[in-house]
């Protein structure tokens, strides 16, 4: 016996949002972009410091006291590299929601509705808040493993309401 006052039961298909991004970035491409961004940052900031330390070490073995000068030059080059990295990152994120590596690999970050993402959303929600949460043990691993869900969103994407799509 059916209840005449029960709500109707029908199978209804969801209607896709026409503005939603359709071509999500591949998981491997996202991983490659994250690794490449790390390499680019290390090359622009950390490598000058390592070279300066090596020069200081070789100078002290030769009997010359070049430690202070080598570290000062390395620090200045590292600072200049950091400024250039920040400038490029802000430029690409503001223009098209891309980091340096995302630009090279032709992917970008957009809002879940397909609209452009702002620098503030990427900095505060995807990076700052995610960085604060990452003090929880194993959070970084859990965040990364969320890429295997159907929407291919990591936890930082869900926090910021973003997805990574092909540019």
Per the domain annotation, does 4 fall within a domain?
Answer: no
Question: Into how many domains does the chain fold?
Answer: 1
Per-residue pLDDT of the chain (167 residues; tens, 9 = 90+): 778 888 877 776 655 555 555 699 999 999 999 999 999 999 999 998 888 778 777 766 656 666 677 778 888 889 999 999 999 999 999 999 999 999 999 999 999 998 999 999 999 999 999 999 999 999 999 999 999 999 899 999 999 999 999 98
Per the domain annotation, does 16 fall within a domain?
Answer: no
Residue range of the domain that includes 141: 27-166
| Residues 125/93, Cβ–Cβ less than 8 Å | no
Torsion-angle region of 126 (φ positive above 0: left; ψ -120 to 50: alpha; else: beta) = alpha
104 φ/ψ angles, rounded to the nearest 5 degrees: -65, -35
Rounded CA-CA distance 117/161 in Å is: 9
7 φ/ψ angles, rounded to the nearest 5 degrees: -65, 155
Rounded CA-CA distance 37/63 in Å is: 39
Per the domain annotation, does 12 fall within a domain?
Answer: no
In which element (H, E) is residue 67 found? Answer: helix 67-96
pLDDT tens digits, 49-65: 888 778 777 766 656 66
């Amino acid at each position: 016996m059916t209840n005449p006052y029960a709500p109707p039961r029908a199978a209804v298909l969801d209607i896709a949002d026409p503005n939603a991004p359709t071509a999500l970035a591949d998981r491997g491409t996202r991983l490659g972009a994250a690794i490449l961004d790390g390499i680019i940052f290390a090359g622009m900031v950390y490598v000058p410091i390592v070279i300066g330390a090596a020069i200081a070490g070789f100078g002290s073995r030769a009997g010359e006291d070049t430690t202070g000068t080598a570290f000062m030059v390395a620090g200045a080059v590292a600072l200049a590299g950091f400024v250039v990295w920040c400038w490029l990152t802000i430029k690409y994120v503001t223009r098209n929601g891309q980091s340096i590596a995302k630009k090279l690999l032709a992917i970008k970050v957009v809002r879940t509705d397909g609209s452009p993402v702002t620098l503030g959303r990427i900095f505060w929600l995807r990076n700052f808040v995610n960085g604060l949460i990452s003090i929880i043990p194993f959070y970084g691993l859990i965040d990364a493993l969320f890429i295997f869900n159907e929407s291919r969103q990591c936890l930082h994407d869900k926090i910021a309401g973003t997805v990574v799509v092909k540019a």
